[in-house]
């Protein structure tokens, strides 16, 4: 086998959906870029509302877009301190586990028609299941830190996790019922109207569950720095703290992709020239929609403060859970009528 053969084999491997999707688009690399730009955008949007300029220190001409990269580099070289009282192995293992679990959903999220790493009829529950396992590792982080504030944060994560998972799952399930499939790719093809219009109740409940799950304001409760400093991440420093901070954005990214697939008719209409160039690029619209959604969610920061834990839980159990159940009923009704 010559070098040329090896290179083309490598390229083929890299461009196959099984590798390209989870690693490059919409997976790891894109997620990293999203992570950097969304946090930057969040700061810029908040700055606009708050009548200030936002990050400008690095790349002033580009509006400080490289600020997050600089911050990431700083995290990378910061001393990583393990407290003497912490449980070393889980303390180190938990953030790694969390990051892994936050990336797993990309294995099930299709980027374009016929372009998903793992083609499965159960890709929707599989992706959601991976996302909903993240709180367990956050719990582990807080517990292994052996710090009172961290444990408070971990307990909050547990409470919040229980409250939003049910909402997200049931509203996703109601869309599954509506489309008659749990496959995300199928779900897009069944939307003659965006799911948002077909079942707005489910879209709303899923949206709130998503905001809760990503810990964005007004549900920024787990790491409430005014009460518990940084919650489960309080003892972490250096890059592992960065992982903890980026975790929420990763979750937000994968949930926004799922939201776009379920409610915003995903990649439809496909940008045909891009798709014919390379199928993986067909998901440009999917990405754009998901990104806009994320921008809206981070915009909420400049409008809201933080709900109290019990208020958020009450909202989760008493308002959004019934709403998601209602959305299930609506879906069944629509299905019986034969709308979809």
Interface residue with other proteins among 167, 196, 258, 309 (CB under 8 A) is 309
**What is residue 112's three-state secondary structure?**
strand
Is position 50 an interface residue for other proteins (rule: CB under 8 A)? yes
Which of these segments, 11-19, 81-89, 121-129, 302-310, binds other proteins (CB under 8 A)? Answer: 302-310
Is position 231 an interface residue for other proteins (rule: CB under 8 A)? no
C-alpha–C-alpha distance, residues 31 and 117, integer Å: 16
Is position 227 an interface residue for other proteins (rule: CB under 8 A)? yes
DSSP string, 20-48: HHHHTSSSHHHHHHHHHHHHHHHHHHHHH
Which of these segments, 100-108, 146-154, 261-269, 280-288, binds other proteins (CB under 8 A)? Answer: 146-154
**What is residue 90's three-state secondary structure?**
helix
**Of 120 and 237, which has the nearer Cβ to other proteins?**
237
40: number of Cβ within 10 Å: 21
Contacts of 73 (CB under 8 A, 6+ apart): none
Residue 149, classified by CB atoms within 10 Å of its CB into exposed (0-12), middle (13-18) or buried (19+), is buried
Interface residue with other proteins among 6, 9, 225, 296 (CB under 8 A) is 225
Provide, rounded to whole angstroms, the least separation between the CB of residue 151 and other proteins.
Answer: 9
Is position 296 an interface residue for other proteins (rule: CB under 8 A)? no
Is position 48 an interface residue for other proteins (rule: CB under 8 A)? no
Is position 149 an interface residue for other proteins (rule: CB under 8 A)? yes
Residue 78 backbone class (left: φ over 0; alpha: ψ -120 to 50; beta: rest):
beta
> What is the binding site for other proteins (CB under 8 A)?
46, 49-52, 148-149, 152, 217-218, 220-221, 224-227, 229, 301-311
């Amino acid at each position: 086998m010559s070098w040329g053969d090896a290179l083309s084999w490598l390229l083929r491997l890299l461009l196959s959906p099984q590798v390209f999707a989870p690693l490059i688009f919409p997976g790891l690399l894109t997620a990293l870029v999203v992570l950097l730009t969304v946090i930057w955008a969040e700061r810029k949007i908040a700055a606009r509302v708050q009548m200030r300029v936002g990050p400008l220190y690095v790349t002033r001409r580009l509006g400080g877009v490289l600020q997050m990269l600089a911050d990431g580099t700083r995290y990378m070289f910061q001393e990583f301190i393990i407290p003497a009282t912490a449980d070393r192995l889980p303390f180190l293992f938990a953030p790694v586990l969390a990051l892994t679990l936050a990336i797993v959903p990309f294995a099930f999220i299709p980027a374009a028609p016929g372009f998903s790493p793992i083609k499965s009829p159960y890709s929707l529950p599989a992706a959601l299941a991976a996302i909903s396992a993240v709180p367990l590792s956050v719990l582990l982080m807080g517990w292994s830190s052996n710090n009172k504030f961290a444990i408070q944060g971990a307990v909050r994560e547990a409470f919040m996790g229980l409250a939003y998972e049910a909402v997200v799952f049931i509203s996703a399930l109601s869309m599954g019922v509506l489309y008659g499939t749990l496959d995300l790719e199928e779900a897009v093809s069944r939307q003659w109207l965006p799911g948002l219009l077909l079942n707005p109740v489910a879209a709303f409940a899923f949206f709130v569950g998503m905001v809760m799950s990503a810990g964005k304001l007004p549900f920024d409760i787990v790491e409430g720095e005014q009460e518990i400093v940084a919650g489960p991440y309080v003892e972490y420093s250096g890059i592992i703290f960065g992982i903890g901070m980026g975790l929420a954005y990763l979750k937000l990214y994968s949930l926004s992709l799922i939201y776009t697939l379920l409610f915003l008719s995903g990649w439809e209409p496909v940008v045909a020239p891009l798709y014919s160039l390379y199928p993986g690029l067909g998901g440009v619209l999917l990405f754009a929609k998901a990104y806009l959604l994320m921008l809206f969610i981070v915009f909420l920061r400049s409008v809201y403060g933080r709900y109290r834990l019990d208020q958020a839980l009450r909202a989760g159990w008493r308002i959004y859970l019934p709403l998601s159940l209602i959305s299930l009923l609506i879906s069944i009704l629509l299905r019986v009528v034969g709308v979809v």
